A and B are shown apart, each in its own frame.
Chain A
Amino acid sequence: MEERQSNKAGGVGGVVLLFLVGFVGALVVGWWVFPQLLFSQKTQPIRFSHKVHAEQGLDCESCHTYSKTGQFIGLPSTASCAECHPDETGGTTDNDKEIDKFVKEYAKPGIQVPWLVYQYQPDNVFFSHAAHKGFECATCHPDVANMDAPPPYHENRLSGYSKQTMKMWECERCHAQMGASNACYVCHK
């Protein structure tokens, strides 16, 4: 009887304490462990330095071009890259080695580099870059122009998409702010 009372007396505090332990523990798992588990980290097949290229006066559209039809081509082809990097440099710097890796493994065999794209939208989304040409690229994309190495690519193990893929609410928020239509058919044809 005494023991039960003791439990009851100290038990409320103990229950609250353990509730808080569980609560905080869940927060830790949810905000720190879960993202580690959900996303795998991958690196780009070539350590491409946007910074080196930007310093040489190239802007985004020098490589990420639009076709004559207005279609955004997205990634440059291996042939496009090989226009400037047709041969191995034989150099010993990290950048030279990376160029040589590109030439040897992709340019000479004529294989497209399997770049990891940070912001591919699902197939059911129609996104037109041409319609968004008035914005700076870095408004939506990582500002890689100042990076000597591409940022790590985090792939969602469940959905298969990049962590940085823009979510629909982000599209809708910007459309609302800009006064653009948020009708379904604007993005889902």
Chain B
Amino acid sequence: MGLDRRAFIGLVAGGAVGTLFTPIPWKLADDAAIWSQNWSWIPRVPRGEVTYATTASKLCPSGTGLKVALAGGKPVTVYGNPEHPLSQGGVSPIGASEVYMLYSPARVRTPMRKVGGKFEPITWEQAQTELMAKCKAAGNKAACISGDVGGTAGEVLSAFLAKIGSAAMYAMPGEAGPAAAGFKLMGGQGRVGYDIDNADCVLILGSDIFEGSGVSVRNRKAFCASRPLGKDQTAKFAYAGPVRNHTGAVCDSWIPVATPHLGAFALGVAWHLLKAGAVADAADMADFKKLVEANYSPDKVSKLTGVSPEVLAAVAKGLSAAKAPLIIPGSEMGQGAGAGSFIAGMSLNLLLGRMNKPGGVMALPELPAVFPGAETPSEILARDLPGYLKNVGDGKTAAPEVLFVYAANPAYGLPESAAMAKALEKIPFKVSFASFMDETAAMCDLILPNSLTLERYDDVVTPYGSAFCSLTLVKPLVAPIFDTKTTADFILDTAKKMNLALGHDSLEKALKEKAAVVAKSDGFVAKEAMPWDVLAGKPKPAFDAATLWKELDAGRAWVKVGQVAQTGLSFAAKILAALKPAAAELMLAGMSQQRTGTAATGLPAQCLTAIPDTDLKAGASIVRLNAATAKKYGLSQGSGVTLSGAGGSCPAKAHISENVMTGVVAVPLGFGHTAFDAFSKGKGDNFLKIMAATPEAGTDMTVWAGSEVKIA
């Protein structure tokens, strides 16, 4: 019997009908649906026991204490540590990114050496051999740029540099630099901090204290505490600055003042205080009074700054009437203000008698160093990095033979980026310890990747702005995911092999000694009482020095509220006399926001969805002007605009906003990366590159906040 057409159809039909009585169609349909849930790019729920551990953020400058959730031993998410005084449960977007950044595509996964313009992986041993040879050949012609000079790891680099005979240790600019330089010029001793918790009237001069400046998370908590639910607020906040940023937006009042004029504004307020009889115990009190009365009368200040005499008088009256007034000087973008501007702001604190008083400015001691030869953070912070690099670029200062770059990205994060890159190019051998492939690392000859916060030992020591000294332990919660090392450990080992032993074999041992040393210096563990409560008069809790390491390991902070007594603090009237507030038709104001990361981190991937289209839209930066400024330049909402400044030009789109003062263009910072990964590259422009780095009259310190800009 042959298989004819009918028979074949019968066979197929039988097979088809039979198949319907089997699991094949139903199981395949079901499994196909499940298969579609498990594609490789779909995030998976981690398995295993959920546990919690503590550390502190090193990526975020606010030094927030962190509580990290781990599933099966793997970090999965980050919370603020409720027991930590710089967090109290709060966390910044950068701190929150600590887990996700572990897996950033921009991470440098192994040591690399540049050969023929391209990077190739090498071993740590090869890298160390090459580094030692270069260091020996360079002698003392070495320099270091660091984004973290406050901690013990910063001490390691400073001590290493000192051992090879170099003092060229520089910090990336921030608000701590002008404060350190300015306070030194005033004859001050120690580091300044601001006791916002105990103040009842806070005048903020530019500084974005709730976002990009200082201990922002702590400051937000203090601000919240001053506004108890259902009760009267206990402190008033006024913000003077060119743009109503995250700080200006929540303060009780916003006084539009361009950044270069903040010093004059402060001295205009001082004129009223002096008129009301304010005096300070300073050697140059008479000179200061004479200077202010001659040059900063309400009419003159009003003419320069645009602030009406009535507002100046009201500000002075508010400060005079307050029991605990506090003035916080700075810049709206957390960098670029000068030491002179800081001194002008601090003069108000002096006139009001606010030094080392609860709710005032605290002069904090440096914590003892555990590496002999290391400079204090204040000494390093007071140096002028943009000025140094500009001189190197111009040939006025000899370029170092070797440059170390630690936790910093100067090729991106400095003003006049092209001039800074030109200076960096003149340095024959550059070593980056970057964790991510940033713009500076891409220029370097050797990249020795530092392990990230959750992978290493480190510490957070008294972040800028804090009203109390603090020490928080950073400890590894997971083994390094890639072939990275803790930079401090690598330097200690390298120094030892170069017969320049620095005193400790590992950072962990150094941290233990640090804990033992600070335990003897009259502090306590922030647990039963917080430092701002002790500053306000609450008894200091008992402290058992023997338990400090255990307490630090449990995520608590050691704190100290003692201040450095000031002898010989002055107004630095000669410097104030030399100040020449710049006047320009149109000025830039930077908006530094934590959701765009830092120069050293790039844009944290998980923050991209939080960037509004008033900052970045379709890959273009959005700049903000008010209606009056826009009208003057013939711009409207969405207009294309090209901003040109010192180092070139930046295209952008205009957004009309009355949160910007007339004559100012507010620009978002943190965009325009040319390195890192797809999350950072090709998004907007870096406006720092068109900010002019110019010397401040009186101090010669480089300033770039409020620099002049033109609209093409």
Contacts and interface: CB of A to CB of B under 8 A. Distances in A.
A71 B50 contact: yes
B35 A160 contact: yes
A22 B15 contact: yes
A74 interface: yes
Interface string A22-39: 111111011100110010
Interface string B39-80: 000001101111100000000000000000000100000000
B23 A122 contact: no
A15 B22 contact: no
Interface in B1-53: 1, 3-4, 6-19, 21-24, 27-28, 31-32, 34-35, 37-38, 44-45, 47-51
Contact of B38 (A21, A22, A71, A160): A160
A19 B44 contact: no
Given A73-B49, A160-B35, A34 B14 contact: no
A67 B19 contact: no
A31 B48 CA distance: 36
B19 A30 contact: yes
A16 B6 CA distance: 10
A124 interface: yes
A10 interface: yes
A31 to B, nearest CB: 6
A67 B48 CA distance: 11
Nearest to B12: A22
Interface string A109-137: 00010000000101110000000000000
Nearest to A71: B50
Given A11-B6, A73-B49, A159 B18 contact: no
A69 interface: yes
Contact of A31 (B12, B22, B28, B45): B22
Report which residue of B4, B8, B14, B16 has the largest number of chain A beta carbons within 10 angstroms of its beta carbon. B14
Given A14-B1, A15-B10, A16-B10, A67 B21 contact: no
B15 A25 contact: yes
B216 to A, nearest CB: 31
A156 interface: yes
A25 B15 CA distance: 7
Contacts of A35: 23
A165 to B, nearest CB: 9
A22 B13 CA distance: 7
A18 B31 contact: no
Contact of B22 (A14, A26, A73): A26
B6 A159 contact: no
A19 B10 CA distance: 5
Contact size range, A: 35 or more
A156 B27 CA distance: 11
A124 B45 CA distance: 9
Nearest to A12: B6
B47 A26 contact: no
Contacts of B1: 10, 14
Interface in A121-162: 122-124, 156, 158-161
In the complex, which of the residues A38, A74, A158 has the most CB atoms of chain B within 10 Å of its own CB atom? A158
Contacts of A74: 47-48
Contacts of B7: 11, 14-15, 18
A159 B38 contact: yes
Contacts of B8: 18
A156 B32 CA distance: 11
Nearest to B50: A71
Contacts of B35: 158-160
Contact of A18 (B14, B21, B48, B72): B14
A140 B1 CA distance: 53
B18 A25 contact: yes
Contacts of B31: 38, 156, 158-159
A38 B51 CA distance: 38
Contacts of B45: 123
A16 to B, nearest CB: 7
Contact of A7 (B4, B23, B72): B4
Nearest to A31: B22
Most central of B10, B17, B27, B50 by chain A CB within 10 Å: B10
Given A27-B18, A30-B23, A22 B48 contact: no
Given A34-B22, A158-B35, A67 B14 contact: no
A176 interface: no
A171 interface: no
Interface in B597-656: none
A20 interface: yes
A27 B24 contact: no
A135 to B, nearest CB: 22
Contact of B14 (A7, A19, A31, A123): A19
Nearest to A14: B7
A34 to B, nearest CB: 5
Contacts of A122: 34, 37-38
A26 B19 contact: yes
Contacts of A156: 31
Contacts of A160: 34-35, 38
B476 to A, nearest CB: 14
Given A26-B19, A74-B48, A18 B11 contact: yes
Nearest to A69: B50
Contacts of A14: 1, 6-7, 10
Contacts of B11: 18-19, 21-22
Interface string A85-126: 000000000000000000000000000100000001011100
B14 A23 contact: yes
A30 B22 CA distance: 5
A24 B18 contact: yes
Nearest to A27: B18
A29 B21 CA distance: 11
Contacts of A29: 19, 22, 24
Contacts of B32: 158
B39 to A, nearest CB: 11
Contact of A123 (B21, B24, B44, B51): B44
A126 B123 CA distance: 45
A161 B8 CA distance: 38
B21 A27 contact: yes
B34 A159 contact: yes
Interface in B462-516: none
A82 to B, nearest CB: 15
Contacts of B47: 74, 120
A21 to B, nearest CB: 6
Which interface residue of B9, B31, B49 has the most chain A CB atoms within 10 A? Answer: B49
B91 to A, nearest CB: 21
Nearest to A35: B23
A27 B44 CA distance: 37
Nearest to B26: A30
Contact of B15 (A11, A15, A26): A26
Contacts of A24: 14, 18
B22 A27 contact: yes
A73 B21 CA distance: 41
Contacts of A18: 3, 7-8, 10-11, 14
Nearest to A165: B34
Given A14-B1, A29-B22, A73 B48 contact: yes
Given A23-B15, A25-B18, 6 more contacts: A14-B1, A21-B11, A31-B22, A34-B23, A38-B27, A158-B35
Interface of B: 1, 3-4, 6-19, 21-24, 27-28, 31-32, 34-35, 37-38, 44-45, 47-51, 72
The 9 closest A-B CB pairs, nearest first, are A30-B22, A22-B14, A26-B18, A19-B14, A22-B15, A23-B18, A15-B10, A23-B14, A159-B34
11 contacts: A11-B7, A17-B10, A18-B8, A19-B13, A22-B16, A26-B17, A26-B19, A26-B21, A69-B50, A123-B37, A123-B44
